[in-house]
Structure 1
């Protein structure tokens, strides 16, 4: 990964909960402060976008036809460089395993999400979530 080019891609292969293979592609783009995690696992493929500029996380689940967004807790959430370092050093990305409670309320003001997240949630019902303690 070379941050001088602004965007870095890494492929990670893991075992899924059912023992099958799950392919993940991580893209970290320093020039626009976005990290994207694409998870390819057949019918349950999904992606997460960390929009550091707007402080928003979006989890896009096309198989459920929803998108869930949450504000980043900047005190506990890793910086843009931490996932890149963990991948380069083949360490577990456990910081991604955070619990969130999903509200029943739709996101009404999509402008607060930022353009990259707005683009990925197009056509999906989008809900707010909050981090659980």
Structure 2
């Protein structure tokens, strides 16, 4: 099963850029000090952005489907896929990815203003085909759960722990904690 996931991920990494309008690669230091390599493929014709994060055992993939208003995350290291509704009124538009990828370091403050925080629920998704081919292809055969957008935790006293993924301004995680 692990070899199949690796094969599909690598195949997607090599084939998808051929179909994309824009394709970017960049590297950054992760929170644990490991170098994380990212590829971002933007297809404006079908209104889809595909992210691939290569970070050893914690590699992940995501699809932002602007036609379906759906976000899907595949976390092989957790053995799950996560689907969330994209609030089109507050979610950054498709065109913003080009802008931020080219000027990521200079735009760090703007990225923090756009930060979205999603928490995974225990509600499992039954029929992936309702979300279109991009999401169905990413999550097919993997237990898939709904996530809901939550306000960012308040600053102050408290503690929180999350296991999940971070893409530019999106944080998705299995979170727990308390704040005062």
Shift of 1:31: 1.1
Q: Which has the higher helix share?
A: 2
State whether structure 2 residue 147 is matched by structure 1 residue 129. Answer: yes
| Deviation string, structure 1 residues 70-102 (Cα, Å, up to 9, x no partner) | 000011101100011111223345477422121
Highest RCO, 1 vs 2 (Cα 8 Å, sep ≥ 6): 1
The count of corresponding residues between Structure 1 and Structure 2 is 129
Alignment of 1:22-101 (within 5 A): 22-90=36-104, 91-92=107-108, 93-94=111-112, 97-101=115-119
In the alignment, structure 2 segments of 5+ residues that lack a partner are 1-18, 152-180
Shift of 1:109: 2.5
User: Could you say if the C-alpha distance between residues 34 and 112 of structure 1 is closer, same or farther in structure 2, counting changes exceeding 3 Å?
Assistant: same
Larger Cα-atom Rg:
2
TM-score normalised per structure 1: 0.89
Counterpart Cα distance in 2 of 1:50 and 1:96: 15
Quote the RMSD (CA, aligned, Å): 1.7
Aligned to 1:16: 30
